[in-house]
Amino acid sequence: MSLDQAVIERLAEHLESCELQARDTTKITDEHPAMDWDDAYAVQDAIRRRKLARGSRLVGLKCGLTSRAKMKQMGVETPCWGFLVDEYAVADGGEIDCKQLIHPKIEPEIVFVMKSPLQGPGCHIGAVLAATDFVMPGMEIIDSRYRDFKFDLKSVVADNCSSSRFVVGGRPADVRDLDLRTLGIVMEKNGEPVALGAGAAVLGHPAASVAMLVNMLAARGERLEAGMIVLTGGITEAIAVKPGDSVTLRAQGLGSTSVRFV
Ligand code: OOG
Ligand code: MG
C-alpha cells in the first residue's frame, strides 16, 4: 500500500460521486502515480462499504478483461474483478435510463450462479463446475467514470471495473448439459447482430474466469459465497448504446435476454 486511509476514502467518495451524479473524471493514477494494486482494490472496497452502509445488498461479483477482445479494446493485459450490488440489476426486458449514466456500453457475458461456496487457492474449472447451481446468459452495462473510457488497470480496479448495470435472463441451464467453450452467442442492437462469439473467448472456458476470481479472492482471505452470481467477463468488445437502443442477447440453447435504453 502506498496511499494512506484518508486518501483511499477520498478517492472512493470522488469516484462514487461521479457514478451517482453521472459525471466523468480524469483517471486517478494521474494524481497518484505511486498507487499499487492493494491501493486500487482498497478504493474499490471503500466504495463497496459506502454502498452497503446505505443499505445496498451485495449480490455477486464480476470479472473483467477476461477475453482478448476486451483486453485489446481497453489496452490492458490483466483481468480484474469488481462487485455487484442489487441496484445494478435490471429486469429482463427492462429499461435503463441513460440520464443516470455517463457513456454506457454493453457486453455479452456468461453468468454463473453458485450453489456452494468456493475457496482458493488452487481453485480450478472442475471445482467451479461442481459448485455451480446453473448458468444463464447475461449482459453487463459498463460505464467507466473515466473520460472517454481512458484508464489504466489500477484506475479501473478502483472504479469497480466500470460496473453500472447488468441483466440476466433466458433459460438457466445445468453446466453438465453444456460445453461452455463452444456455446455460441449473438448480441443484436436494434435487430442487427453487433457482436458474435463463443464461451472459449473468456480465458479458454468461462469457468476459468470464476476459478481465477476465487484464487484472487483467496489472496485477500476471502471466498465466493453460495447464492452469488458471477459475471465472467465480456466475450466480445463492448458496444456503445444511446437512448432508443434495444439490445438482445441470444445464447445457444439458453434463450435470450434483452434490455432497452431510454
Ligand atoms: C472494464 C470492465 C471490463 C469486462 O467484462 O471485461 C468488463 C471496462 O472495460 O471498462 O466488465
Ligand atoms: Mg463485463
Q: Are strands 95-96 and 89-90 parallel, antiparallel or unpaired?
A: unpaired
**Residue ranges covered by each domain of the chain:** 57-261
- 147-168: average pLDDT: 96
Binned at pLDDT 50, 70 and 90, residue 74 comes out as: confident
Given this model, what pLDDT does residue 188 score?
A: 98
Architecture of domain 57-261: Alpha-Beta Complex (3.90)
Percent of the residues in the chain that have a pLDDT greater than 90, as a whole number: 96
- 211-220: pLDDT as tens digits: 999 999 999 9
- 98-116: average pLDDT: 98
Ligand 1 binding pocket includes 144 (Cβ within 6 Å): yes
Q: Which residue has the cell 429482463?
A: 92
Q: Nearest residue CA, atom 11 of ligand 1?
A: 64
Return the minimum-mean-pLDDT range out of 67-71, 73-77, 127-131.
73-77
- 83-103: average pLDDT: 98
Atom of ligand 1 nearest to the CA of 79: 6
- 164-210: pLDDT as tens digits: 999 999 999 999 999 999 999 999 999 999 999 999 999 999 999 99
Rounded to the nearest 10 degrees, the angle between the axes of helix 5-21 and helix 37-53 is: 60
- Cα 45 to Cα 124, 176, 193, 249: the distances in Å are 25, 34, 37, 31
Binned at pLDDT 50, 70 and 90, residue 77 comes out as: confident
Given this model, what pLDDT does residue 207 score?
A: 98
Q: Nearest residue CA, atom 10 of ligand 1?
A: 162
Ligand 1 binding pocket includes 237 (Cβ within 6 Å): no
Higher pLDDT residue, 75 or 176?
A: 176
Could you please report the per-residue DSSP string of the chain?
Answer: --S-HHHHHHHHHHHHHHHHHT--B--GGGT-TT--HHHHHHHHHHHHHHHHHTT--EEEEEEES-BHHHHHHHT--S-EEEEEEGGGEE-TT-EE-GGG-SS-EEEEEEEEEESS-B--SS--HHHHHHHEEEEEEEEEEE--SBGGG---HHHHHHTGGGEEEEEE-S--B-GGG--TTT-EEEEEETTEEEEEEEGGGBTTSHHHHHHHHHHHHHTTT--BPTT-EEE---SS--EE--TT-EEEEEETTTEEEEEEE-
Binned at pLDDT 50, 70 and 90, residue 76 comes out as: confident
Ligand 1 binding pocket includes 153 (Cβ within 6 Å): no
Residue 75 has pLDDT above 90, yes or no: no
- 14-46: pLDDT as tens digits: 999 999 999 999 999 999 999 999 999 999 999
194, 219, 168: which is closest to 59 by C-alpha? 168
Residue 67 has pLDDT above 90, yes or no: yes
Atom of ligand 1 nearest to the CA of 144: 10
Q: Nearest residue CA, atom 8 of ligand 1?
A: 162
Rg (C-alpha) for the chain, rounded Å, is 17
Ligand 1 binding pocket includes 107 (Cβ within 6 Å): yes
Return the minimum-mean-pLDDT range out of 26-30, 76-80, 83-87, 103-107.
76-80
